[in-house]
Chain A
Amino acid sequence: MVFSSMTYLFVFLPMVLLAYFVAPEKARNMVLLAFSLIFYAWGEPVYIFLMLMSITVNYVFGRIISNNRANHSRYAKLNLGIAVGWNLLALGIFKYYPFVSTQLRGVGLKFIPAMKLLLPIGISFYTFQAISYLVDIYRNQIKVQRGFLKFALYITMFPQLIAGPIVRYEDVEKQLTKRKVTLAMFGNGGEFFLRGLIKKVLLANQLGALYVQIESLGAGHASAMTAWIGAFAYTFQIYFDFSGYSDMAIGLGKMFGFRFPKNFDYPYTATSITSFWRRWHISLSSWFREYVYIPLGGKRVSPGKHVRNILIVWMLTGLWHGAGWNFILWGLYYGVLLLLEKYVIHDRISSHPWPGRILTFLLVTLGWMFFVHTDFSEMLTYVGHMFGVGCTLANATTGYFIRTGLLVLLLGAFFSTPVFHRLNEQFAVKYYTVSIALRVLMFMLCVAALVYQSYNPFLYFRF
């Protein structure tokens, strides 16, 4: 189920809110768990069994590791290895087996069975949450969760289940047992949810439509400027799409008394690639830093090993986003850029905010074109067009897209900075009633847009 759908907004959400607040406090976890399972099963019910299996396996292994970590550390380590291996096996089979088997069969290993498996939605997110839980128990950073329902709720909580943020257990540990929703917190949650809905429906979907138009142009209409307009449209689309989802998830969490961590911090205003990755999908970057980069030795190793660590982490980051060579290329592209910043450029760019900001934005835009094109020849053609290879600088089609797309691109650029947020807060304090009326109006606009747009999936659902 998609947050920005009529079924969700007018059926599922009111039902879960009603059931949650009518239920006695002790039954609220049960209510949330039941609705989370319904939410997950919507459309693809068979994968609910995989999720239930994952919950059971991780719950039991969590207890085994916890019971043995004090006196049998090797035994605890063995069980941690088996548990993490189980999670990675599940992720590997469903997400990577079809890709790996295709590659191996392509080089003549025809005995490897080809298997087309559908990716269970959100598997990358909930698997990473489960692994972080197990590792944190082993490291003695958290107490094991003895309540099965509470643990199941941690894994399945519907607001962040299918597209993050990746919530670490310690962030919600206390809230799983006791939480309080005040009217102010509920209202703040609603505000976050509406902000996310606006980002998704009024910005991301419009920018996506612009990108689709440009992407589907025939070679005869291609030009460098048109290709850049398309690339900018996708760049803003993926930001509003994903950060919109995260805002909705955080907002829904607040409405039920949970505080999820921030996942975006105006990434397109970053003055360097390092800074960009501290602001984009923060929960994933933190996960890789905590559970891969630091255990590999981080930067407290020789330069050669540091280079290796960076490239491993970024190749894995790319692979996390999808099983495809383009995702590996995209990950390594960032690995190389980060190494260049660290060893060659140092802080020469970030000390000049505006040139740094523009260069970072352009590099990120180029990176998204590696990311979005799963077909290498299409990727090379598109990126080639961006640099004028095989096309003119501009043509009549460019003029059309400037006329029709400039406004939405400018809005995208404006709303991806903190300027609007600051102005909005000042406005809300000064003109409270008008501000409320504007929010209602924006919600109605979103609903109207949703009636017109029949299908609007979130891009990060694919990962």
Chain B
Amino acid sequence: MSGQWDIEKRRQLYIVAFQVVAVTALLVFVWFIAHEKKYKEVDVPALVTELSAITQDEWHEEDALSLKRRFGLAANDFAAVGYFGPNSNMDAAELLLVRVNDKSQVDAVVEAMKNRVAYQCTCFNGYGEDQMTLLKDVRYVTRGYYVFMIISSDASAVEREFLKQIEP
């Protein structure tokens, strides 16, 4: 009888231990998620405006419609978007910075950027030597929830400044 009581008591002890472990594990996981390395949360449109000033007169600010038309991306689907497009059809310089809502969006955004560059290449291939040079030097920078496409005569400087700004 006492043996049975002991077994029952031990069983209940295991259950209490499991309850404690379950709650602790959840809280530890939350702590881990909350403290993983995060890049600084910046005002995306303001940062893109600032970055666009590094090489003046290459581009101008574009709206959500242009983004949809050229990249097939809806600005509302993301946490924030900043987009500067070419000054005319004969220019190629572009800056697109997207802060995604979750990392599952990253691949699709990069794919959309690559499609855009591929399309621009078909437009300029054969006669727009300068534009093709810019397009071949395109940078796709992915850090945390940021996806950045740089097509610029000074892409390295823009990339450097971007990384400086989002560094935690």
Contact = CB atoms under 8 A, between A and B. Distances in A.
Interface string A37-73: 0000011101001100100110010001000000000
Interface string B56-97: 000000011100100111111100000000000000000000
Q: Say which size band chain B's interface belongs to.
A: 35 or more
Q: Say which size band chain A's interface belongs to.
A: 35 or more
A294 interface: no
Interface string A424-463: 0000000000000000000000000000111101000010
Q: Classify the secondary structure of A's interface with B.
A: helix
Interface in A211-258: 212-213, 215-216
Contacts of B33: 46, 117-118
B105 A457 contact: yes
B103 A454 contact: no
A208 B108 contact: no
B115 interface: yes
A277 interface: no
Nearest to B19: A82
A93 B109 contact: no
A86 B64 contact: no
Given A86-B26, A216-B64, A454-B112, A44 B72 contact: no
Q: Classify the secondary structure of B's interface with A.
A: helix
Contact of A455 (B64, B65, B77): B77
B74 A212 contact: yes
A98 B102 CA distance: 15
A10 B14 CA distance: 47
Contacts of A60: 18, 22
B30 A454 contact: no
A455 B102 contact: no
A103 to B, nearest CB: 19
Given A53-B26, A60-B18, A82-B19, A454 B111 contact: yes
Nearest to A116: B41
Contacts of A208: 74
Those 4 A-B pairs whose CB atoms lie nearest each other, nearest first: A43-B104, A454-B112, A455-B108, A454-B72
